[in-house]
Structure 1
Amino acid sequence: MAKKIGLLPKLIIGIILGIVIGLISKSIEFYVIVKLFATFTGIFGNFLNFIIPFIILGFVAPGIADLGRGAGKLLGLTAAIAYISAVVAGVCAFIVGKTILPGIIKVGDLAEKAGPNLDPYFSIEMPPMMGVMTALVTAFVLGLGMANIKGKTLFEALSDFQNVVELVVRYVLIPLIPIHIAGTFAKLSASGEIFETIKTFSTVYLLIILLQIGYIVVQYTIASIISGKNPFKCIKNMLPAYFTALGTQSSAATIPVTLQSATKNGVSEDIVDFVIPLGATIHLAGDTITLVLSSMGVMLMAGQTPTIAMLLPFIFMLGVTMVAAPGIPGGGVYAALGLLKDMLGFTQPQRNLMIALHFAQDSFGTATNVTGDGAIAIMVDKLSKKKS
C-alpha cells in the first residue's frame, strides 16, 4: 500500500506549483490559470470566514464546560498557567518582533507594488451567521453555563456539533488548503511580489524557531525557580518528546513519550497523567509565538507599523483561543483567523499567508507546545503540593 502523503509535503508542493504557474503566466502575460486560482481562493476564503464562528463555538463552549466538570481547582490551575504561558509567549514575540523585524523588513515592501489585474472571475458571498466576538462571548456563556448545571442535553448537543465542525475542518478545509495556498502564491508570483515575500518570510521563519527554543528555556527557568529543579537537566529529559513531536506534528500522538519524559523530571505520577494530556489540548505557546511574529511581519510588509496598543489586545484574546483551539492540524491558526480579520484588519490574502507560514513551522510549534507541557507539569506539581 502506498504511503499517504502528509500535509506539509502537499503544502510545499502547492507553494512550488503556485510559484511556477504565476511566473509562467507573468512571462507570457496570460493570466487565465491564475485568475481561476484566484476565483477558487476567493470562494474558499469566504467559506473560511463562514465556518470560523462555528469552529470557535463548537470547540470553545464544550472545552470550557469540560474544564468546569473536571478536577476542580487542579484543572483551573493548569488552565490558568497555560493561558499565562500563551500571553507571555505572545508578549515576548512582540518585543522580539518590534526590536528585530523593522531592521529586516522594509515597511510597505508589498504595498507600493502594482501588478496586472488578477481579480477572480466571480465570487460567492457567504456571510457568517455571527461575528467572531459574538461567537466567543456566546461560547463563554454556554460553556460556563453548562459547567454549572446538572443537565447534559445541551452539552451533548454541542459535543455533536463539535464533531460536525471537526469533520468539516478535517475533510474539507485541510485537504483544500494546499490548493488555496497554491492560488495565493500563484497570484504573488504573477504580480511580481513573490521573491520579496519568500525572502522576508524565510527570515521571519528562522526568528520564530529561535524564539520558540528560547521560550522553552524561559519556561523551564520559571519552573526551576518554583520547584528548585535544574532547568537544563529537565529540558534534556524532555528532548525525546521534542523530537517525537517534530516527526509526528501532533501533540496528541506525542503524549506517550511526553508522559515518560515528564516522569523523569520527578513529577508526581498523578500530576503527569492529568497535566500532560490536558496540556496537549490547551497549551499552544509555540503557536502563539508563530501567530504574533508572522502577523507583525505581514503588517510591516503591508505598510502598517505594529504597535503595542494594536497587538496587546490581540495577544490577550489569542491566549483564550489557544487554550480552546481545536486539537487538529492547524487548529491554532484556524481559531485565530477571525481575530486576525476583526482585530488586526487582515485581508484574505494576508490570512492565506498566515496559514502557509503556520503550517510550514507546525512541527517546531508542536514540539515547543509539548516540551512546555513538561514545565507546566513541574509547576502544577509543586504548587499543588504547597496548597495541600
Structure 2
Amino acid sequence: MEKQGFIHSLPFKLLVALALGIACGLALSSMDQSAFGQALLNIVVTVKFIVAQFISFCVPLIIIGFIAPSITRLGNNASRMLIVALILAYVSSIGAAFFATVAGYGILPHLNINPDVDGLKELPEVVFELTIPQIMPVMSALFFSVLVGLSAAWNKSKLITGVLEEFQQIVLSIVTRFVIPALPILIGTTFCTLAYEGTITKQLPIFLIIIIIVMVGHYIWMTLLYSLAGIYSGKNPMNIIKNYPPAYMTAVGTMSSAATLSVALECAKKSVPTLRNDMVDFGIPLFANIHLCGSVMTETFFVMAVSKMLYGEFPSIEKMILFCLLLGVFAIGAPGVPGGTVMASLGLITGVLGFDGTGTALMLTIFALQDSFGTACNVTGDGALTLILTGYAEKHGIQEQKLEAVL
C-alpha cells in the first residue's frame, strides 16, 4: 500500500467534511428566515438523501464482492493449521464484540446520551427523491455469498472462483473510486443537518468520551489475549510484547494492517524462539487479513452509542447477539480499505440494527476518527494468536517446517 500524507488520508478528509458541515449548519441556522438559506438547506438535504441511497445500493455488492472470494480462497487452501487459525481469529473477534456489548450495556446508560433535545429545528423535505433500490436485501447477499463461496471451494470450480476474484476487484474499484470519495459528502451533509437542528453542540463531546473508552477497551482485550496465549503455550508473552511497539506505532500511522505487515513480521521474527519461525511466516500475514478484534470491538460499542443517541434506545440483546456473531464473519472478508470493517458490515448495521442514513454516517465518521488505534490493536493482537498457534503445533507434535508445507 502506497504511503500518503495525513492531509490526503480519509480521516483527514472526514474531519474537514465534519468541520465544514458543522460550520455550514450553524450558518444556515443563523439565516433560517432567508430564502437563500432555505434554498441551500434544501440542496444539502437532497444531496444527503441521494448519497445515502447510493451507498446503501452498494452494500450488497460489497458483501458479495468480499465475502464470497474470501471463502473460496480459504476453502482451496484449507488445512489443519489454517482451520485452527480461522477459529482463533473468529473467536477473538466475536469475543471482543461481546466484551464491547457487555461494556456498552454497563457503561453507556451512565453517560449523558440524550436523544430528546429541546428546541430542535425541523429539516425541510427532500426536493428530489432519487430512490436507488438494492439489487437484493443485505441478508440475502450474505447467504448468497456464503453458499456460492463454499460450493465453489468444495467443487474446485476454477471458473466461478476466477469470476468471484475478478468481481472482487470490480467492487474494490467501486469502493475506492466512488464509495470512499462519497463518504466526506455524506459526513458533511449529515453534520450540516445535525448542526442546523441544534443537536451537534450537545452530542459531539459524547463522541470524544466514547472514543477514549474504546481505546481503554483495546488495551484490556490485548492484555487478555496475551495472558491466555501465555497460559496455553507455557511461554512468557512479554518476550513478544516488548518487540511490538514499532508495529503498533506503524499501524497508528498507516491505519492499515497490510501496510504494517512488513514491520509486524520483523517484530514477530525478533520474538523467535518464543514464536516458532514457521508459525510467524504463516500466522502473521494470515491474521493481518482476518483478525480484526480492535475494529470489531470499536464498531460494536459505537453502534450501541449511536443507536441510543439517534433512536433513543439500545438495540435489544437478541439483535446484539446476532450482530456480534455475524460481525465476526464479515470481519474475515472485510475489504483492505480505510474503515474496511465497518464498510463490509454496513449490511448488518442497516439490516440487523435498522440504522438509517444518518446513523450510518455517524458510524462511518466516529469509526474513521479512531481507525488508527483499532488497527494497532488488530496488529498487536496477531502476535498473541501466533503464540497460540505455536503452542498448538508443539502440543500436537507438528514439526517445524517451511510455509509451503504448512499450507
Fold-level similarity (TM above 0.5) = yes
Contact 2:7-2:13 within 8 A present in 1 as well: no
Q: How many Å separate the matches in 2 of 1:384 and 1:63? A: 25
Per-residue CA distance 1:188-244 (angstroms, 9 max, x = gap): 000001012202111111111111121111111111111122234422221111111
Give 1:281's match in structure 2, choosing from 281, 289, 295. Answer: 289
Contact 1:217-1:231 within 8 A present in 2 as well: no
1:287 shift after superposition: 1.1
Opposite residue 278 of structure 2, the aligned amino acid is: D
Q: Is the 8 A contact 2:104 2:301 kept in 1?
A: yes
Between the aligned partners of 1:21 and 1:242, the Cα distance in structure 2 is 37
TM-score, scaled relative to structure 1 = 0.96
Q: Which residue of 1 aligns with 2:219?
A: 213
Counterpart check, 1:154 vs 2:160: yes
* Residues 381 and 9 of structure 1, relative CA distance in 2, 3 Å threshold: same
Match of residue 22, structure 1, among 20, 25, 41? 25
1:290 is matched with: 298
CA distance 1:17–1:3, change in 2 (3 Å)? closer
Q: Residue 222 of structure 1 aligns to a residue in which SS?
A: helix
- Matched residue, 1:338: 347
Aligned match for 1:378, one of 365, 387, 394: 387
Structure 1 residue 4: Cα displacement: 6.3
Q: Deviations over 1:337-360 (max 9, x none)?
A: 111111111111011100001111
Alignment of 1:173 onto 2:179: yes
* Regions of 4+ moved over 6 Å: 1-4
Q: Counterpart in 2 of 1:139?
A: 145
Structure 2 counterpart of 1:55: 62
Pairing 1:267–2:275 present: yes
Structure 2 residues not aligned, in runs of 5+:
398-407
1:252 aligns with 2:258: yes
Amino acid at match of 1:381: T
Answer whether contact 2:226 2:237 (CA < 8 A) is retained: yes
Among the aligned pairs, what percent are the same residue? 37
Per-residue displacement from partner, 1:294-347 (whole Å, max 9, x unpaired)?
A: 111012222113342221111001111011111211111111111111111111
In structure 2, the CA distance between the partners of 1:182 and 1:234, relative to structure 1 (3 Å rule), is same
**Alignment-mate amino acid for residue 9 of structure 2:** G
Match of 2:321 in 1: 312
Question: Does structure 1 conserve the Cα–Cα contact (< 8 Å) formed by 2:51 and 2:185?
Answer: no
Secondary structure (helix, strand or coil) at the match of 2:167 reads helix
1:252 alignment partner, SS class = helix
Partner of 1:368: 377
- Structure 1 residues 315 and 136: alpha-carbon distance in aligned structure 2, compared to 1, 3 A threshold: same
The 2-side partners of 1:370 and 1:3 are apart by 20
Do residues 64 (structure 1) and 68 (structure 2) align? Answer: no
Question: Offset at 1:253?
Answer: 0.6
Q: Distance in 2 between matches of 1:378 and 1:348?
A: 41
Which stretch shows the higher mean deviation, 360-369 or 35-44? 35-44
Matching of residues 162-201 of structure 1 within 5 Å: 162-201=168-207
Who is 1:323 aligned against?
Answer: 332
Q: Which residue of 2 aligns with 1:123?
A: 129
Task: Please report how far the alpha carbon of residue 151 of structure 1 lies from its aligned counterpart in structure 2 after TM superposition.
Answer: 2.8
Q: Distance in 2 between matches of 1:359 and 1:256?
A: 23
Task: Answer whether contact 2:305 2:314 (CA < 8 A) is retained.
Answer: no
CA distance in 1, matches of 2:149, 2:122: 48
The offset of 1:109, in angstroms, is 4.0
Alignment-mate amino acid for residue 68 of structure 2:
A
SS of 2:242's partner is helix
The code of the aligned residue for 2:305 comes to G
Match status 1:43 vs 2:50 = yes
Distance 2:6 2:193 in 1: 31
**Structure 2 CA distance for aligned equivalents of residues 2 and 334 of structure 1:** 22
Match of 1:258, SS state, is helix
Query: Residue 58 of structure 1: CA displacement?
Result: 0.9
1:11 aligns with 2:18: no
Q: Is the partner of 1:237 in helix, strand or coil? A: coil
**How many Å apart are 1:113 and its aligned residue?**
6.0
| Cα pair distance change 1:2/1:139, threshold 3 Å | closer
Worse-superposed segment, 339-348 or 98-107: 98-107
Q: Is the 8 A contact 1:18 1:183 kept in 2?
A: yes
